[in-house]
């Protein structure tokens, strides 16, 4: 762990073709603002300097520093560092996005990093890679949860690193402390020292089950939810190397990110603008929205306007149907534990796209009617890996309109943790087989493992590789390729590339 002025290390994010956001924080005895010199170079020794400048830590922003460095070359690796109060920060690597004509881009996708549930071994594996343009983070970068969850919720295993603060984050100070804890973690620091991050958010950046005006766990004695949501947003902007899409609207996260003309990523916020999750039949009300009017109109319009070879939609919530009345009773408790089914396992989960069926149908219909045959949806949130072909109505057997790749969690509990059995136990395998047999639009799933996905985009196909770590209960350097699937350009069918051996070697 870094000590001194730069104990929270440095980070970069929101790269574009000509710019990238750089971040650090100054820890000092006095409030400041403190002058911070920064430099960007072509080499790790910071000798071949391309630009330098001076910024200041902002006491109003928890002493953080944000620099939007422009004038950079596309698809280029840079190194950067800061100096303040006689100390130098670690030197970090970052990379700009490609411009028109790019033929291939590889990036990682991750979500759901509960600090007290697991060691961030997957971040360390991502940090070892040099074949990635960036990390796409689909949310739950932090968990606001208390160290001991309320009665009835499955408790994470005790790995000996409790949350700070121990209590649930509610105030601005709470959220700042939680981000500071994450940024003190060596694997989190290694990630940010290596790759720029492009992100959307999920509910735990605020509170479990966040919706526009509340959350499933928010209690009146915790104060107005609007204050809590504003604190969550503010701490996120302070502590992350992100560029506000609209500086006048700190609640706006949705935006698109161009990867040259090869692909465009549409990043969506499925939490802070949605109506309250509600069980059927009310969930079928056509007026209900997960995106909110402004974001939905932006998304449909931006998808229409895109001329990119691939359209990639990044969001926290699983878009494909995870409920079917044909699901056998025997597997419903486990799927309910994963949050794939609603209360009692007798219907759809209101907390994801299944809970906003009319708006989902509108979106999928839009893709079909506008002949968008190049859409791939990237999702997280549910802590398991899934490949889904997206249908307006999978039961009716209509043609799929897109493919969805769902990333597993970095550390948050999946089915083995929640049900209390060993990883890759026969009971997990049986659940997965039954899910695939019952949900014909599901092509593959893995309910036990933590890790990340590598997305590889070229003109012919988008390929997804699920990389799994062997454990999150202790530091470990092992990872396995769990599965590899692709979708060919113009097709909406997922194809398995190869089924790895049951215990392939680590890379
Ligand atoms: Fe999560």
Flag whether pLDDT at 503 surpasses 90. Answer: no
* Ligand 1 midpoint to CA 352 (Å): 12
Flag whether pLDDT at 184 surpasses 50. Answer: yes
* Ligand 1 midpoint to CA 317 (Å): 10
* Ligand 1 midpoint to CA 306 (Å): 30
* Ligand 1 midpoint to CA 492 (Å): 27
* Ligand 1 midpoint to CA 287 (Å): 27
H or E segment and range at residue 443: strand 442-446
Mean pLDDT of all residues belonging to the chain: 96
Flag whether pLDDT at 506 surpasses 80. Answer: no
* Ligand 1 midpoint to CA 384 (Å): 10
* Ligand 1 midpoint to CA 112 (Å): 4
* Ligand 1 midpoint to CA 503 (Å): 27
Q: Which of 257-266, 333-342, 498-507 has the lowest mean pLDDT?
A: 498-507
* Ligand 1 midpoint to CA 275 (Å): 19
In contact, 236 and 178? CB cutoff 8 Å:
no
* Ligand 1 midpoint to CA 19 (Å): 30
* Ligand 1 midpoint to CA 385 (Å): 13
- CB contact set of 388 (below 8 Å; sequence gap of 6+): 318, 319, 320, 403, 404, 406, 441, 442, 443, 494
The Cα 418–Cα 497 span in angstroms is 30
Digit-coded pLDDT (tens) for 48-107: 999 999 999 999 999 999 999 999 999 999 999 999 999 999 999 999 999 999 999 999
Instruction: Tell me how far CA of residue 235 lies from CA of 62, 72, 200, 315, in angstroms.
Output: 8, 28, 15, 21
Three-state secondary structure along 30-50?
Answer: CCCCCEEEEEEECCCCCCCEE
* Ligand 1 midpoint to CA 409 (Å): 7
* Ligand 1 midpoint to CA 483 (Å): 21
* Ligand 1 midpoint to CA 411 (Å): 9
* Ligand 1 midpoint to CA 170 (Å): 18
Digit-coded pLDDT (tens) for 200-223: 999 999 999 999 999 998 999 999
The Cα 442–Cα 112 span in angstroms is 22
Assigned CATH topology for domain 97-498: Purple Acid Phosphatase; chain A, domain 2 (3.60.21)
Instruction: Tell me how far CA of residue 186 lies from CA of 330, 359, 364, 406, 451, in angstroms.
Output: 42, 41, 41, 26, 17
* Ligand 1 midpoint to CA 466 (Å): 17
* Ligand 1 midpoint to CA 410 (Å): 9
Confidence of residue 1 (pLDDT cuts 50, 70, 90): very low
* Ligand 1 midpoint to CA 111 (Å): 7
Listed by start position, the domains of the chain span: 97-498
* Token pair listed for 96: 């700009």
What are the φ/ψ torsions at residue 170 (nearest 5 degrees)?
Answer: -130, -45
* Ligand 1 midpoint to CA 88 (Å): 35
The Cα 412–Cα 392 span in angstroms is 30
Digit-coded pLDDT (tens) for 302-313: 999 999 999 999
- Alpha-helical segments (H) within 113-185: 121-128, 172-183
- Who wins on pLDDT, 398 or 254? 254
Peptide bond into 379 cis (omega under 30): no
* Ligand 1 midpoint to CA 203 (Å): 8
Report the share of the chain in percent with pLDDT over 90.
94
The Cα 373–Cα 454 span in angstroms is 22
In contact, 338 and 417? CB cutoff 8 Å:
no
* Token pair listed for 63: 């002493």
Flag whether pLDDT at 3 surpasses 80. Answer: no
The Cα 39–Cα 1 span in angstroms is 22
Please tell me the predicted confidence (pLDDT) of residue 505: 36
* Ligand 1 midpoint to CA 274 (Å): 17
Q: Which residue has the tokens 């290596």?
A: 194
Confidence of residue 229 (pLDDT cuts 50, 70, 90): very high
The set of long-range contacts for 327-336, using a CB threshold of 8 Å and a minimum separation of 24, is: 327/434, 327/435, 327/438, 327/439, 328/434, 328/438, 330/434, 331/431, 331/434, 331/435, 331/438, 334/415, 334/418, 334/419, 334/431, 334/447, 335/431, 335/435
Q: What is the pTM of this model?
A: 0.97
* Ligand 1 midpoint to CA 421 (Å): 20
Please tell me the predicted confidence (pLDDT) of residue 507: 32
Q: What is the largest CA-CA distance in the chain?
A: 67
* Ligand 1 midpoint to CA 246 (Å): 26
Q: Which residue has the tokens 């009345």?
A: 325
Bridge partners, 389 (sequence order)? 403
* Ligand 1 midpoint to CA 202 (Å): 7
């Amino acid at each position: 762990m870094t000590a001194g002025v730069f104990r929270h290390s440095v980070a970069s994010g929101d790269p574009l073709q000509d710019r990238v956001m750089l971040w650090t924080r100054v820890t000092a005895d006095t409030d400041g603002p403190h002058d911070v010199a920064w430099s960007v170079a072509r080499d790790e020794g910071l000798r071949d300097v391309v630009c330098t400048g001076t910024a200041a830590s902002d006491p109003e922003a928890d002493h953080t520093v944000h620099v939007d460095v422009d004038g950079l070359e596309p698809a280029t690796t840079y190194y950067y560092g800061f100096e303040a109060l006689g100390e130098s920060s670690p030197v970090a690597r970052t990379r700009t996005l490609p411009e028109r004509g790019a033929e291939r881009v590889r990036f990682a996708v991750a979500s759901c990093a509960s600090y007290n549930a697991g060691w961030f071994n997957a971040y360390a594996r991502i940090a070892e890679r040099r074949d990635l343009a960036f990390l796409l983070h689909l949310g739950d970068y932090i968990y606001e949860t208390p160290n001991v969850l309320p009665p009835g919720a499955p408790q994470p295993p005790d790995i000996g690193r409790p949350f700070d603060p121990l209590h649930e984050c509610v105030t601005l100070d709470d959220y700042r402390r939680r981000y500071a804890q994450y940024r003190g973690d060596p694997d989190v620091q290694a990630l940010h020292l290596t790759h720029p991050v492009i992100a959307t958010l999920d509910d735990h950046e605020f509170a479990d089950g966040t919706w526009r005006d509340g959350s499933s766990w928010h209690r009146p004695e915790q104060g107005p939810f609007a204050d809590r949501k504003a604190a969550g947003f503010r701490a996120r902007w302070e502590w992350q190397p992100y560029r506000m899409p609209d500086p006048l609207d700190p609640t706006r996260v949705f935006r698109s990110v161009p990867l040259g003309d090869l692909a465009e990523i549409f990043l969506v916020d499925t939490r802070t603008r949605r109506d309250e999750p509600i069980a059927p039949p009310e969930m079928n009300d056509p007026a209900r929205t997960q995106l909110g009017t402004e974001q939905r109109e932006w998304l449909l319009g931006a998808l229409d306007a895109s001329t990119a070879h691939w359209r990639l939609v990044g969001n926290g919530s699983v878009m494909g149907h995870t409920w079917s009345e044909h699901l056998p009773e025997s597997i419903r408790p486990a799927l309910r534990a994963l949050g794939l089914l609603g209360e009692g396992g007798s219907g759809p989960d209101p907390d994801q796209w299944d809970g906003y069926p009319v708006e989902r149908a509108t979106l999928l219909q839009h893709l079909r009617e506008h002949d968008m045959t190049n859409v791939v949806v990237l999702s997280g949130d549910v802590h398991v890996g899934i490949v889904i072909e997206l249908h307006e109505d999978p039961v009716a057997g209509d043609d799929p309109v897109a493919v969805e790749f769902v990333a597993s969690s970095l550390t948050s509990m999946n089915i083995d943790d929640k049900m209390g059995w060993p990883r890759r136990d026969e009971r997990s395998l049986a659940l997965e087989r039954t899910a695939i047999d019952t949900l014909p639009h599901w092509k593959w799933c893995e309910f036990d493992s933590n890790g990340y996905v590598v997305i590889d985009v070229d003109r012919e196909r988008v390929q997804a590789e699920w990389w799994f770590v062997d454990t999150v209960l202790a530091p470990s350097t092992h990872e396995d390729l769990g599965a590899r699937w692709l979708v060919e350009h113009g097709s909406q069918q997922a194809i398995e590339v190869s089924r790895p051996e049951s215990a392939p070697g680590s890379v």
